[in-house]
């Protein structure tokens, strides 16, 4: 039987990151490089499954990077890992611009599994989604240690990996 090491991915959406909505500005590109580096380290440490809500911003970027790394490993004949999208509600991307909307659905098409927790938006659906992912995981990967998800993970003795721009990347070991 295969041992699973599960990583939940949560973080700020593009509006909360505060570097502007342009994904190609220097700071956002630096965050993406940091995500790729840290995801690679997580894979090398044995992560077999990633859970992510693919919210625009950090979670969507991480989902795209995870899929790219997974596909590259498969092409190289290396062992792979799985991406599970956990949607807080069915209409999550309805109001997004066309480009981000298409990327969101591309991630869904290429994920190993998509789970929808709520049919419609409700005031608790995003927190419920994060709780669900953290309850299932061994490690939380996030871009903000003060974020609700990090506090919830710490309360439940989960390992927390925090990713910011490369010069400010750090890891917090809990438990």
Q: Where are the domains of the chain?
A: 6-172
- Reported as a single tens digit per residue, the pLDDT across 126-170 is 999 999 999 999 999 998 776 789 999 999 999 999 986 544 444
Reported as a pLDDT band with limits 50, 70 and 90, residue 15 is low
Q: What pTM did the predictor assign?
A: 0.88
CB under 8 Å, gap of 24 or more: what pairs does 134-138 form?
134/8, 134/10, 134/158, 136/6, 136/8, 136/51, 137/6, 137/7, 137/8, 137/51, 138/5, 138/6, 138/7
In terms of CATH architecture, what is 6-172?
A: 3-Layer(aba) Sandwich (3.40)
Average pLDDT rounded to a whole number, residues 69-93: 92
Reported as a pLDDT band with limits 50, 70 and 90, residue 12 is confident
């Amino acid at each position: 039987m295969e041992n699973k090491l599960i990583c939940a991915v949560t973080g700020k959406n593009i509006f909360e990151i505060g570097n502007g909505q342009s994904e190609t500005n220097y700071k956002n590109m630096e965050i993406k490089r940091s995500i790729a580096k840290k995801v690679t380290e997580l894979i090398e440490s044995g992560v077999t499954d990633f859970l992510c809500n693919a919210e625009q911003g950090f979670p969507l970027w991480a989902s795209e990077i995870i899929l790219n790394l997974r596909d590259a490993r498969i092409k190289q004949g290396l062992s792979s890992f799985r991406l599970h999208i956990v949607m807080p509600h069915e209409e999550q991307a309805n109001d997004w611009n066309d480009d981000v909307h298409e990327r969101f659905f591309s991630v869904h098409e290429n994920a190993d599994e998509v789970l929808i927790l709520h049919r419609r938006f409700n005031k608790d659906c995003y927190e419920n989604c994060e709780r669900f992912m953290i309850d299932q995981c061994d490690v939380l990967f996030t871009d903000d240690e003060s974020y609700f998800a990090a506090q919830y993970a710490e309360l439940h003795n989960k390992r927390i990996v925090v990713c910011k721009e490369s010069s400010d990347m750090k890891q917090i070991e809990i438990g």
